[in-house]
Structure 1
Amino acid sequence: MRILYFSRDYSTHDHRFLSALAQTEHKIYYLRLERGSHTLEDRPLSPEIDQVEWVGGKHPATVKDSVRLQDDLRRVIRQVKPDLIQAGPIQRSAFLVALTGFHPLVSMSWGYDLLHDAKINPFWRWATRYTLHHSDAMIGDCNTIRQLAISYGMQDDRIITYPWGVDIHHFNVPSFQRVKVPTFSLLSTRGFEPIYGIDVIARAFVIAARKRPELHLTMLGNGSQAAAIRQIFLVDGVYDRVHFPGQVTYADLPTYYQNADLYISASHSDGTSISLLEAFACGTPVVVSDIPGNQEWVTPGENGWLFPDGDAEALATVILEVIDKRLVLPEMGYKARRLAETRADWEKNFPKLIAAYQLAM
């Protein structure tokens, strides 16, 4: 079968999907909608994947590009002659495919498309409904996404729900015994963008750090709010206790989880957070925002804690309480790892993507 994989950019998640698809019996073509301002993945495509050249994929896509993108997408479809197109996010790549009238279309939700983008304005709501109405199957990573898709008109029996999962061999518990150190280390891995609540983490850290001098924070990634976040730490005098490694490689990422006492995320919108699953797989307990996607994974006091979305003071309070309970963290980390092995194993979950293809045919 000839499959056209059409995604917004080239991220770590795209690399994983394309690498796995390259090992199947199918012929895979990759189409990229846009190129963002930050590099999301530096590993090359598998040589078995054919990247399709077209007018898109060279810079951020805007509404004014829609007509020429749609016209050239029709040309790509005639050229590649796919038996099936997998496309997402819903209102971007999948919407463009739906407008061409191509079938079968497997739309893949990226979480934020239904949690956030569908609510932007009436046009985005219409684009969401239009795309799902013209989709032969849809992939979502949690029940929250499934219910939202149904609310926008997707048939329940055409939805395949499964967490994308992580490579639990790459993200694993450290083989070494951690050296006991006087510091308590927090880790954030989300992009410096408003949707991820990075400012909430910064303000919470300032509050907690004033009371616990052993507290340190590592913030991976980059983004539009980087300067503003650094300023928060500078103004409040804790900048020297925050480490900014920038965008780290996939190969190095597990080490950061393994060296952290606690993973924190203040994201305002998530389906199944891959970063959360990476932390679990590395045996690192979590403190994350109390939103539906996280509620499907975090059992408070067992593998992590939840705090009210957007509440920096509440996050600081939880961090301070966890420091006093640090002796329970190894057992919680063990439970987190077991959950990752049971529900978040990429190798076990990937075949459900092929099941979505079969459902759409």
Structure 2
Amino acid sequence: MQKKRILFLGETYRADAITWMNGLKEFGDFEIVTWELHTRSTGVSRIKRLAELSKSFLTIRSITKKFNADMIIAERTTSYGFLAALSGIRPIAIAQQGITDLWPQNSLLYPFKKIIQSYAFKKADLIHAWGPVMATHMQNNHVNMSKVMVIPKGINLNFFEYQDNCNESIIKAIVTRSLLPEYKHDVILKAFAILKKQNIPFELTIVGDGILLSKLKKLSKELGIENNVTFTGRISNNDLPKLLQKSNLYISMPTTEGVSASLFEAMACGCFPVVTNLPGNKSWIIQKKNGILIESENIEKLANEIVWAFENSEIRKNAVLENRKFVEENANYAINMKKIADKYHELINLRSD
């Protein structure tokens, strides 16, 4: 029997996209071909990206004919979702990656994005909300909720195994977000500088790469904490669980958040989360029960809460066990991706009947 074929529209270098595609191959036995825009959606290049988007329709139509896809899926409900809606392939599944996908709100293109998102919502046969916060946005925008599947892709729990680090004698914190302005690594470094002044021992590991790497290294020296901070740079996927398992606190201070696989990975490995007080995080974290929620740029508050979390070891012990259980029940990659793959087969079969 011939494998069912999927055309994937999205940025294939992204970890979320790789997880999605690999899950469909593993649990749905799909054959996948990909296409993506080459211009990044940043600054002035957003205009160039829009121009590229306008020329992409014919290219995707050509790929569609050659590949003979049984289904098309799109990362984001705006750019790629709009192209999927125009492709002529059915069924269509689109995924909302952020809280709204309409970002930045002060952009001149915001009204245009809202129009093409609405069109993609109407044309889609299935809409992925990787978490409840995304489904809320869809409901507020009068999306047909019978088409919405609310489930995260999940993480590989055999890979991200639990490790009890609650009895460590010092703070061992880890940050696993890209070194980009929106993740506020500078705030985290300044909070740990306060701990240094208070003679509180700590080790801070900052994983990943990005445009701010050199600036953040320089800042750590200016703050006098360079000997306490390790910048790993880009690491292999095999090394990430090991670093998480050696840590007892996970810190993440972005200014916006949808559904964070990084948070699930930390929770699975036994790190106590200290994260931004955003709707996306509040879907999973209950204040001072299984983590801490604080404002993104409150440096003193962050420092105080890091100390509170470390000193309240009994709360942390209970929290990390509950978090592992939660991830096993709600964010198990093997279970969730099988459900998603089965849904795709169901949609394809309905279309072919």
The Cα offsets for residues 86-140 of structure 1, whole Å up to 9 and x where unpaired, read as 1112222222222334432110122265264577422222222222122121011
CA distance in 1, matches of 2:134, 2:37: 24
2:131 paired residue number: 142
CA distance in 1, matches of 2:95, 2:332: 19
Query: What is the CA distance between 1:280 and its match in structure 2?
Result: 1.1
The Cα offsets for residues 5-55 of structure 1, whole Å up to 9 and x where unpaired, read as 222232333332222222355542221314699xxxxxxxxxxxxxxxxxx
Matches within 5 A, 1:64-213: 64-111=51-98, 114=101, 116-117=103-104, 120=107, 121-174=110-163, 182-213=169-200
Q: Is the 8 A contact 1:160 1:352 kept in 2?
A: no
CA distance in 2, matches of 1:293, 1:179: 26
- Give the residue type in structure 1 aligned to 2:199: R
Moved more, 272-281 or 295-304: 295-304
Query: What is the CA distance between 1:181 and its match in structure 2?
Result: 5.4
SS at match of 2:101: helix
Q: 1:161 to 1:282 in 2, by over 3 A?
A: same
Q: Is the 8 A contact 2:176 2:207 kept in 1?
A: yes
The Cα offsets for residues 331-358 of structure 1, whole Å up to 9 and x where unpaired, read as 3211111111111111111133135423
CA distance in 2, matches of 1:227, 1:297: 33
CA distance in 2, matches of 1:113, 1:245: 32
- Give the residue type in structure 1 aligned to 2:240: L
Query: What is the CA distance between 1:179 and its match in structure 2?
Result: 10
Query: What is the CA distance between 1:196 and its match in structure 2?
Result: 2.0
- Give the residue type in structure 2 aligned to 1:134: K
Q: 1:140 to 1:179 in 2, by over 3 A?
A: closer
CA distance in 1, matches of 2:37, 2:243: 29
Q: 1:245 to 1:151 in 2, by over 3 A?
A: same
Unaligned runs of 5+ in 1: 38-60
With structure 2 as the length reference, what TM-score do the two structures score? 0.87
Q: Is the 8 A contact 1:289 1:306 kept in 2?
A: yes
2:43 paired residue number: none
In the alignment, which of 8, 21, 29 is matched to residue 5 of structure 1?
8
1:45 paired residue number: none
With structure 1 as the length reference, what TM-score do the two structures score? 0.85
Q: Is the 8 A contact 1:187 1:218 kept in 2?
A: yes
Q: 1:23 to 1:238 in 2, by over 3 A?
A: closer
CA distance in 1, matches of 2:63, 2:263: 36
Query: What is the CA distance between 1:283 and its match in structure 2?
Result: 1.6
CA distance in 2, matches of 1:355, 1:197: 39
- Give the residue type in structure 2 aligned to 1:349: N
The Cα offsets for residues 212-238 of structure 1, whole Å up to 9 and x where unpaired, read as 341221100111222332232222211
How many residues in Structure 1 have an aligned counterpart in Structure 2?
336
2:261 paired residue number: 274
RMSD: 2.4
1:315 paired residue number: 302
Q: Is the 8 A contact 1:84 1:105 kept in 2?
A: yes
2:318 paired residue number: 331
Unaligned runs of 5+ in 2: 41-47
CA distance in 2, matches of 1:269, 1:338: 26
Q: 1:113 to 1:81 in 2, by over 3 A?
A: farther
CA distance in 2, matches of 1:182, 1:354: 45
2:237 paired residue number: 250
SS at match of 1:63: helix
Q: Is the 8 A contact 1:141 1:161 kept in 2?
A: yes
Matches within 5 A, 1:320-359: 320-357=307-344, 358-359=346-347
SS at match of 1:86: strand
1:30 paired residue number: 33
- Give the residue type in structure 1 aligned to 2:128: I
Q: 1:145 to 1:354 in 2, by over 3 A?
A: same
Q: 1:276 to 1:302 in 2, by over 3 A?
A: same
Q: 1:250 to 1:115 in 2, by over 3 A?
A: farther
Query: What is the CA distance between 1:327 and its match in structure 2?
Result: 4.8
Q: 1:119 to 1:149 in 2, by over 3 A?
A: farther
Percent identity, aligned pairs only, is 24
CA distance in 2, matches of 1:294, 1:25: 30
CA distance in 2, matches of 1:118, 1:133: 22
Q: Is the 8 A contact 2:204 2:229 kept in 1?
A: yes
Q: 1:30 to 1:161 in 2, by over 3 A?
A: same
CA distance in 2, matches of 1:97, 1:27: 18
CA distance in 1, matches of 2:105, 2:133: 14
